[in-house]
Structure 1
Amino acid sequence: MPGPILQVALPSPLRRLFDYRSPAGVRAEDLCIGQRVRVPFGQRQMVGVIAGISDTTEVPAAKLKPAQELIDLQPLLPESLWQLILWTASYYQHGLGDTLGCALPTLLRQGEPAIARQDLLWQLLPGAYPEHPAVSRATKQKQAVQVLAKHPHGLSHALISQWGLTRDALEALERKGLAQRIHQSPHHTAEPLPLLSDIPLKANAEQQAALEAIAGKSGFTAWLLDGVTGSGKTEVYLQAIERCLVAGRQALVLIPEIGLTPQTMERFQKRFSIPVVILHSGLNDRERLDAWVAARDGEAGIIIGTRSAIFTPLARPGLIIVDEEHDLSFKQQEGLRYNARDLAVYRAHLEDTPIILGSATPSLESLHNVRRGRYQHLRLTERAGNAKPPGFRCIDIRSRKLEAGLCRPMIEAIGEHLKQGNQVLVFINRRGFAPTLMCHDCGWIAECTRCDARMTVHQNPPRLHCHHCDTQRPQEHECPKCLSKDLRQLGAGTERTEEHLAQRFPDFPVLRIDRESMARKEAMQGMLKRIQSGAPCLLVGTQMLAKGHHFPDVTLVAILDADGGLFSADFRGPERMSQLITQVAGRAGRADKPGQVLIQTHMAEHPLLINLTEQGYGAIADMELDARGRAGLPPFSFIALLRAEANNANVANEFLESACTLAENLSDQLGLAVDMLGPVPSPMERRAGRYRAQLLVQAKQRSTLHQLLHHWLPQLESHPLGRKVRWSIDVDPLDMF
C-alpha cells in the first residue's frame, strides 16, 4: 500500500488508535510521532496526534481514509512529556486520545498553531531623531519620534493613545523608514532581567539543612518536606527555585486550588523579577495557550498551576514542587482519574530532576515511601520567627445549648480575642444556611428528587440546593405531606453562622469564605487583602480556609464540628480528619501573637482527638500506617474501583456481577492473587437520577493488579451490558464514594 499508515490518537475514551493514510503531498520523512493531524471522523473533522507510523494496517484499503492536513512540522511535545502521557494512559487504563485531550490546551485540541499571541510594538529605526528633516513639518510624527525614543525596546500598540499618539502618525513614520512595527510574545523580555527583586529571608537552621540536602544531590531525588504549619516551607521552595534558576533551569510548582493562586503568584513575583506564568481552569483558552507556549519555549522561568499543569512542557526542566501534597484536589475524579502528585514524581524521574513534596500533614502514601527509602525525609519542626504552636482545647458540647452551632464558651472566647484587636477564624465545613429542612409536626424532610441526599437550605438567594447534583428549587413554606407551616431549619452552615456572628458582634466585620461567596472572579483575592490588612474581624468558612493561607493576625481558630470524620465508612477517614483539623489549626498564631484552637465535639474522650491534640499529626500518621499494614490496606496493597451507573439499579448490578465473574476467571487463568470485594451499591446509591454500584479489586502487588486490568478491561469494553451502563475504572482511588 503506498505511503505510510498513521496511527492516530483521537479524543475518545476508547483505548485504541485509528489508522489513516498520510495527507496528500506530505513526504514520509516529514512525518513523526507527536505531530497533530486533522482527519475525517464520521461526518465531522477531528484533530488527533500521531502515536505511531506503520507500513501495514488491518483496515481494508477501501475504508482507509487519508488525513486531511498535517498541522505541526515538529512533535508538539518533548520526548519526556510524551513518555509521561503514554505512561499515564497505560497506568490509569485510559484512552491515549482522551489522555492527550486532558494534557493539551483547548486551542491546541482545536488545531490552532502552537504559538503565543503576539503583541504589536512600535519601535524607532536607527537614524530616527526628533529633528529629522522628514518630520520637521509634521507635528504629530515629531511627537511620535520623541515618545518612541523613550521606549527603545518598543511601545505597545495598545498604549499609543495613552501617550497621545495616533496610528496614522506611526504608519507615516513607517513609510518614511523611521519606525517599524514588531511582534513579540507577551512573556518576551528584551534583555536579561535580574533574577531577584526582593532579598531572601534568612533561613533558620532547619531550613538551611533542608536546602543544603536538596542542593547536595543531583538528578532525580524525591524529597518529602514535612514541616509543621508556619514553619517556612514556602521559603525553602523559593530558595530552592532560586538555585534552579541560577543554573539556567525552570521550576514547575503545583498547588491544590485556584484560590491559592493569587497569593502564591504575589509571593513569587515579589521575590523574582523574571516571568512567572500561571496555569489553571480559571484562565480563558488564549491565556492558557500563551502560558503553555511561554513554558515550552523557556520564556517563563517559573510555572505555577493546579493539577493539569503537570502536563506543561518545559524547555529546561530543573525542579518540580508539589505544595500540600496530601490534598485530594490533586486527584482528578472524573474522566482520566489521574493523581497529579504521583505523575509529578514519575515526571521528575523521566526528566532526572529533583522533586519536593511539601506538607504539614503528609499523606500516608508519602510517609510509607519514606519508610521504604524511596523518598528522602526533610523535617521542619519549628515555626518560623518567634511564632509558637497554638494551644489546643476540646469543648465537650454534650448537654450544652448551641446558638447557630456555637456553645457559650466558644462565643465568649471569640469575643475576648476580638476585643484584643485580633482576628478569629470560625471553621464549619458545611455550606449554606442549614443542612436540613424538616416539618416539626410530621417529620417530613426536604430531600433531593434525584439523589439519596437532603437538600441544603440557602438564604442568599433563598432556595433548596442539592450539593451533589446541583438541583435547586424554591424553599417550601408548608409541609407537602401534612400541610403544616411549622418547618424548621436544622443545623448550621456557613451562612447561618455568619448571620449569627454578625448579630452577636456587630462592631466587627464577618467575612464568609466558601464556594458561593467566592464564585465571582477575583473575589478571593479581594477577601485576602481585607484579611491581610490586620484589622480585627471574623472569618467564617469551609476547608477553603485551611489550605496554605498565611493569616498573621488570626489568634483563635474555632472548629465547630470535629465529629464528622470519627466514624467515617472510608478507611481514610481518620487520616483526612486529622489532616483537616491540623491544617485549620495551623492558621492560628503564625506571627508574634500566641494562637489558640478550640474544638467543639460530642466525643471529647475519643482517642483520635486526644492523640491529635496532645501528640500531633505525626503520631496519628504512625498509628494509622501501622493499622493499615495489619489490615492489608493501601499503601500496603493496591486497589482499583470499577464503578457503574444506570437508570435501573438492577442493570448496574448485573453488569458488575458479570464483570466480577470475568475477573475471577481471568485471575484463575493467569494465576493472579486478586481479591474482589462486591459488587455493592455505592454509599450514595442514587445520584443525579442514576443508580450507582461499585466493585473493588485489590492485590498485594501493583504489577498483579495491572496485569489483571490489562486483560480485563478490553473484555468489558466489548461486553453487551457495557453499552447499557456508564462505567469507569479508578486506579488508586482516593474517594470510595
Structure 2
Amino acid sequence: MQRVRLLVFNAALGVLDYRVPEGMTIEFGSIVVAPLGPRQVLGIVWEAERLSTQEVPESKLRPLLGAMPAPPISERLRRLIEWTADYYCAPLSSVARMALGSISALRGGGTTTEYRLTGAEPARLTPQRAAALDALQGEQGSIRELAELASVSDGVLRGMVGAGLLEAVTVDLDRPYPPARPEFAQPTLSELQQDAADIFIDAVRAEKFAPFLLDGVTGSGKTECYFEAVAEALRRGRQVLVLLPEIALTENFLRRFEHRFGVPPILWHSSLKSSERRRAWRAIAGGTAQVVVGARSALFLPYANLGLIVVDEAHEISFKQDDGVRYNARDVAVMRAKFEGLPVVLASATPALETMQLAEAGVYRKIDLPSRFGGAQLPDIRVLDLREEAPERGRWLAPKLVDALKDRLAKGEQSLLFLNRRGYAPLTLCRNCGYRFQCPNCTAWLVEHRFSKRLACHHCGHETPVPEACPECGTGDCLVACGPGVERIADEVAEILPEARTALVTSDTMNSPHAVGEFVAMAENKAVDVIIGTQLVTKGYHFPELTLVGVVDADLGLEGGDLRAGERTYQQIAQVAGRAGRGEKPGEVLIQTRHPEAAVIAALANGDRDAFYAAETEARRDAGAPPFGRWAAIIVSSEDQSEALSAARAIGGTAPNLPDMLVLGPAPAPLSLLRGRHRFRLLINARRSAELQKTIREWLGPLEFPRGVRVNIDIDPYSFV
C-alpha cells in the first residue's frame, strides 16, 4: 500500500489519510504512528472504503513515522468495532481504543525494574513505613504502583529502598504464563451436567457460531459444565474469554479455576497494575494467553485465536457500561462470537427477560440444569410481612428473623443478611431545624459511614467528616440517622448477638482481591457466624455451613419506577437466596417486605419463576418495552443549567414525528445534578421495526451546541437516573 486511511484515537479528528514511506510494510489493522502538526498520534490502518473522509491529493499526504511492534487488529475485531460504534451511536475511535488496552504494550518487549519487600527488620519504623510493610506483603511492582497500594508517597518507598526494606528485581516484561492443564483435576459430573458439558464440547469442536443460554438454579454446577468446554478449547490450542460482572467475584473464581486446571487464569480488569496489563495484552495478542477472566473491557482485546466466550452471571446489570461507550457486554459478547465464528455461553440462574425471549424464539439454544448438584435441596422461602411482624422500635430485623439468627448461632451454622445499601444510613438530618445533608455536586443525600466517620456521596465520591453540630442552625448533638444501611444492621446484630462473629461485605470493605480472599477463607473456615452484605454477596460464593439468608428490605429495589425494577429485584433476591443450603444441611430464606402482594415477592415466596417471567413478559409487551420494543435515552448535561435546558429544548423541538417512534421529554433527570453537571433527559420508545440508530444520528447530526454541553446517547438503557 502506498496510501492508507487511519482511524486515529481522537473523536474530533476521526479519519485521516497518510502516505506509506518506501520500505515500510503495512497491512489492514496495523497500529502505526503518524504526524499531526507538531505532534505524533496513534492510529489503526483501516479499509478506505469502510471509512469516509475528505479526499486529500497524493502530493499533500504526510508519511507515516513507523509501525508499532504489535500484531495488527484482525478483520473480525475491526468488524466488531464498527458494529458496536454503529449500534450504540458511539465514536468509532472510542470503541477502537478499547482494543488497545495498554499503550505501553505496543512498544515491544524488554525488561523493567520492580520492587518487593526484603523481609529485613527496620531499624526505624515510622507510621508510614509500618503501613507500607503491612500493605505490601506479597506484592511486587514499580515504586509508583506500590505507593498507590500502600497509600504512601513515593519518597517513603525510596527511603525504604535505601534502608534495605525494599529490593529491586529485574523483570522480563513478556515472561510467559504457566500453561493450564485440561486434564489436571477432571470432575465427576452428574448426568445432567455431563449432557450439558458434552453439548458445549461439541460446539467448541465445530468452531462455528453457536449461542447458548445455560439456565441453571443456584448450586446446580453451571461453572463445572462450561469448564469442560474450556478444557476442550485448551486441548485444541484455542483461547478462552470468561466475562465476570464484578471484580469481587474474581477471587472465588480464581480458586475454582486453579483447582480444576492447575494454574490461575489471566486477569483483565481496571485494578491491574500497568505492568500486569501490559504483560496480559501482549500474551493475548500473541496467542500465548490461554484463558482470560475479565470485566467487560476484556471483550475488545485482540485475541489471536479465540475459541470460546463465556458470560457468567449474564443477567447482571454491571455488564452495561453507563459512561463513555454505553455498551452491554452481554450482547456485544454474542456479536463477537458471531464475527469470530465460535460458541458463546450465557450462564445464569436468573436470565434477563431479553435473553429468555431469544431462547424461546430459538435464537439461543437453552440448556437447563433444574436441580442442585449432589442432592442438595433448594431452600425454603418465607415472607415476613413487616406490617404484621414489625421489628422492635429502633430496630430493622423482625422478631422471627432474630429468632432464626439465634437458632443458627446455637447450632454453629452461618447466616447471611442482605441489604443493598452501603453505609450506616442513607440520610442524616438535624432534629432541631430539619436540615438534610445533601451532596454539593449531585441531587443526592449524603450517606453516613460510621466506620470511617464520614458523609459520602455514592455518585460522585464527595466526602466530608460528620460535623459536631448542624451547619444550618449550629445546634450540637442533634444529628439523626434515618433509615438503615448495612453498617447499621451490623450494629444491630452486635446488640442482639454480642457473641457472634460478623463480616461486613460491601464495595467499601471488599475493595481488593486480597480483602475478598481473606473473607472467603474466614467464611469457609467457620470463623464467621453472620455475614452482612450488599449485592456483592448475592452470587458466586459457596459456603456449605450457610443455612439462613435474611433479606432485610425486599422492597428497596422496587422503588423509583425503573423499567426493570421487578426483574432486577427478583434476580437479586433469588441469587442471594441461592447462598442458603448449598451443602448437606437444608437452607431457609426469610424475606422482609411491606408489599407481600407484589408479583415479584409472591413469585419468590412460591418459587414460581416461570409465573413471574410470564407476568413480566406480558407487562413489557403491553408497554412496548424490551424485548418487544426499543428504548433509547438522550442525556443532555452542562455545568450551566440554562445552557443544558436550552440544548435539551432544541433537541426536543426538532424531534422526528414518526409512526413507529415516540419521543418523551425533555425533562429534568431524576438525578438532575450529577458531578456538578445539570442534566435533562429525553426518552425514545420505538417499535422493533424502527431504524432507531439511523433516526437518532440524522436527528442530532445537524444540531450544534455550546462547548460546555454534552449530549450522550444510551441505546437499550439500564439506568434511568
Q: How far off is 1:194 after superposition? A: 4.8
Q: How far off is 1:350 after superposition? A: 1.3
- Secondary structure class of the residue paired with 2:557: coil
- Secondary structure class of the residue paired with 1:357: strand
Query: What do residues 250-303 of structure 1 show as CA deviations (whole Å, max 9, x unaligned)?
Result: 221111111111111121121114673111111112211212222333323222
The answer as to 2:93 corresponding to 1:97 is yes
Q: Which amino acid aligns with 2:98?
A: C
Q: Pick closer, same or farther for the CA change 1:257–1:500 going to 2, 3 Å.
A: same
The answer as to 2:372 corresponding to 1:383 is yes
The answer as to 2:609 corresponding to 1:628 is no
Q: Pick closer, same or farther for the CA change 1:349–1:53 going to 2, 3 Å.
A: closer
The answer as to 2:505 corresponding to 1:509 is no
Cα distance in structure 1, aligned partners of 2:110 and 2:262: 21
Query: What does residue range 543-562 of structure 1 map to in structure 2 within 5 Å?
Result: 543-562=535-554
Q: How far off is 1:582 after superposition? A: 0.4
Q: Pick closer, same or farther for the CA change 1:452–1:188 going to 2, 3 Å.
A: closer
Q: How far off is 1:703 after superposition? A: 5.6
Instruction: Give the equivalent residue in structure 2 for 1:726.
Output: 710
* Residues 251 and 320 in structure 1, CA contact (< 8 A), matched pair in contact too: yes
Q: How far off is 1:306 after superposition? A: 1.1
Q: Pick closer, same or farther for the CA change 1:116–1:509 going to 2, 3 Å.
A: farther
- Secondary structure class of the residue paired with 1:528: helix
- Secondary structure class of the residue paired with 2:347: strand
Cα distance in structure 2, aligned partners of 1:622 and 1:187: 50
Q: Which amino acid aligns with 1:99?
A: V
Q: Pick closer, same or farther for the CA change 1:429–1:522 going to 2, 3 Å.
A: same
Q: How far off is 1:15 after superposition? A: 7.9
The answer as to 2:402 corresponding to 1:406 is no
Cα distance in structure 1, aligned partners of 2:29 and 2:2: 15
The answer as to 2:689 corresponding to 1:705 is no
* Residues 621 and 628 in structure 2, CA contact (< 8 A), matched pair in contact too: yes
Cα distance in structure 2, aligned partners of 1:116 and 1:728: 41
* Residues 433 and 494 in structure 1, CA contact (< 8 A), matched pair in contact too: yes
Query: What does residue range 181-200 of structure 1 map to in structure 2 within 5 Å?
Result: 185-187=174-176, 194-200=181-187
- Secondary structure class of the residue paired with 1:286: helix
- Secondary structure class of the residue paired with 2:107: coil
Q: Pick closer, same or farther for the CA change 1:657–1:87 going to 2, 3 Å.
A: same
* Residues 258 and 306 in structure 1, CA contact (< 8 A), matched pair in contact too: yes
Query: What do residues 653-678 of structure 1 show as CA deviations (whole Å, max 9, x unaligned)?
Result: 321222233341xx66xxx7322111
Cα distance in structure 1, aligned partners of 2:576 and 2:13: 42
Q: Pick closer, same or farther for the CA change 1:40–1:194 going to 2, 3 Å.
A: closer
The answer as to 2:235 corresponding to 1:246 is yes
Instruction: Give the equivalent residue in structure 2 for 1:322.
Output: 311
* Residues 201 and 228 in structure 2, CA contact (< 8 A), matched pair in contact too: no
TM-score of the superposed pair, with normalisation by structure 2: 0.86
- Which of residues 335, 353, 356 in structure 2 aligns to 1:364? 353
TM-score of the superposed pair, with normalisation by structure 1: 0.84
- Secondary structure class of the residue paired with 2:441: coil
The answer as to 2:683 corresponding to 1:696 is yes
Cα distance in structure 2, aligned partners of 1:182 and 1:117: 5
* Residues 539 and 579 in structure 2, CA contact (< 8 A), matched pair in contact too: no
CA RMSD of aligned residues (A): 2.8
Cα distance in structure 1, aligned partners of 2:242 and 2:9: 28
The answer as to 2:17 corresponding to 1:16 is no
The answer as to 2:19 corresponding to 1:35 is no
Q: How far off is 1:483 after superposition? A: 3.1
- Secondary structure class of the residue paired with 2:209: coil
Q: Which amino acid aligns with 1:379?
A: D
Comparing 691-700 with 537-546, which one deviates more in the overlay?
691-700
Comparing 213-222 with 628-637, which one deviates more in the overlay?
213-222
Query: What do residues 575-610 of structure 1 show as CA deviations (whole Å, max 9, x unaligned)?
Result: 001111001111111110111111111223333311
Query: What does residue range 493-504 of structure 1 map to in structure 2 within 5 Å?
Result: 493-504=485-496
Q: Pick closer, same or farther for the CA change 1:193–1:444 going to 2, 3 Å.
A: closer
Instruction: Give the equivalent residue in structure 2 for 1:165.
Output: none
The answer as to 2:406 corresponding to 1:415 is yes
Q: How far off is 1:227 after superposition? A: 0.6
Cα distance in structure 2, aligned partners of 1:371 and 1:118: 53
Comparing 589-598 with 96-105, which one deviates more in the overlay?
96-105
Instruction: Give the equivalent residue in structure 1 for 2:139.
Output: none
- Secondary structure class of the residue paired with 2:645: helix
Q: How far off is 1:532 after superposition? A: 1.4
Q: Pick closer, same or farther for the CA change 1:274–1:439 going to 2, 3 Å.
A: closer
Comparing 419-428 with 433-442, which one deviates more in the overlay?
433-442
Cα distance in structure 1, aligned partners of 2:484 and 2:447: 10
Query: What does residue range 554-573 of structure 1 map to in structure 2 within 5 Å?
Result: 554-573=546-565
Cα distance in structure 1, aligned partners of 2:488 and 2:74: 52
Q: How far off is 1:502 after superposition? A: 2.6
Q: Pick closer, same or farther for the CA change 1:647–1:589 going to 2, 3 Å.
A: same
* Residues 643 and 695 in structure 1, CA contact (< 8 A), matched pair in contact too: yes
Cα distance in structure 2, aligned partners of 1:314 and 1:627: 41
Instruction: Give the equivalent residue in structure 2 for 1:647.
Output: 639
Comparing 703-712 with 319-328, which one deviates more in the overlay?
703-712
Q: Pick closer, same or farther for the CA change 1:517–1:567 going to 2, 3 Å.
A: closer
Comparing 702-711 with 424-433, which one deviates more in the overlay?
702-711
Q: Pick closer, same or farther for the CA change 1:182–1:73 going to 2, 3 Å.
A: closer
Query: What do residues 399-452 of structure 1 show as CA deviations (whole Å, max 9, x unaligned)?
Result: 542554222322221111011111111111111111111222332211222221
Q: Pick closer, same or farther for the CA change 1:556–1:103 going to 2, 3 Å.
A: same
Q: Pick closer, same or farther for the CA change 1:546–1:274 going to 2, 3 Å.
A: closer
- Secondary structure class of the residue paired with 1:565: helix
Q: How far off is 1:325 after superposition? A: 0.4
Instruction: Give the equivalent residue in structure 2 for 1:591.
Output: 583
Q: Which amino acid aligns with 1:16?
A: G
Instruction: Give the equivalent residue in structure 2 for 1:452.
Output: 443
- Secondary structure class of the residue paired with 1:522: helix
- Secondary structure class of the residue paired with 1:508: coil
Comparing 57-66 with 306-315, which one deviates more in the overlay?
57-66
Cα distance in structure 2, aligned partners of 1:15 and 1:655: 24
The answer as to 2:598 corresponding to 1:606 is yes
- Which of residues 178, 196, 200 in structure 2 aligns to 1:214? 200
Instruction: Give the equivalent residue in structure 1 for 2:126.
Output: none
Cα distance in structure 1, aligned partners of 2:7 and 2:459: 33
Structure 1 or 2, whichever has the larger Rg, is 1
Q: How far off is 1:344 after superposition? A: 0.8
Q: Pick closer, same or farther for the CA change 1:182–1:522 going to 2, 3 Å.
A: closer
Query: What do residues 448-498 of structure 1 show as CA deviations (whole Å, max 9, x unaligned)?
Result: 222211111112221111111211112122223333332211222122222
* Residues 10 and 98 in structure 1, CA contact (< 8 A), matched pair in contact too: no
Instruction: Give the equivalent residue in structure 2 for 1:163.
Output: none
* Residues 428 and 446 in structure 2, CA contact (< 8 A), matched pair in contact too: yes
Instruction: Give the equivalent residue in structure 1 for 2:147.
Output: none
Query: What is the number of equivalent residue pairs in this alignment?
Result: 659
5+ residue gaps, structure 2, are 115-169
Cα distance in structure 2, aligned partners of 1:324 and 1:402: 38
Cα distance in structure 1, aligned partners of 2:685 and 2:653: 15
* Residues 326 and 359 in structure 1, CA contact (< 8 A), matched pair in contact too: yes
Instruction: Give the equivalent residue in structure 1 for 2:121.
Output: none
The answer as to 2:662 corresponding to 1:678 is no
* Residues 424 and 448 in structure 2, CA contact (< 8 A), matched pair in contact too: yes
Q: How far off is 1:57 after superposition? A: 7.0
Q: How far off is 1:364 after superposition? A: 0.7
Q: Which amino acid aligns with 1:92?
A: Y
Cα distance in structure 2, aligned partners of 1:116 and 1:397: 64
Q: How far off is 1:51 after superposition? A: 2.2
Instruction: Give the equivalent residue in structure 2 for 1:289.
Output: 278
Q: Which amino acid aligns with 1:305?
A: G
Q: How far off is 1:63 after superposition? A: 11
Q: How far off is 1:117 after superposition? A: 6.2
Cα distance in structure 1, aligned partners of 2:370 and 2:176: 39
Q: How far off is 1:228 after superposition? A: 0.7
Instruction: Give the equivalent residue in structure 2 for 1:443.
Output: 434
Q: Which amino acid aligns with 2:382?
A: R
5+ residue gaps, structure 1, are 121-180
Instruction: Give the equivalent residue in structure 2 for 1:205.
Output: 191
Cα distance in structure 1, aligned partners of 2:418 and 2:642: 41
* Residues 88 and 693 in structure 2, CA contact (< 8 A), matched pair in contact too: no
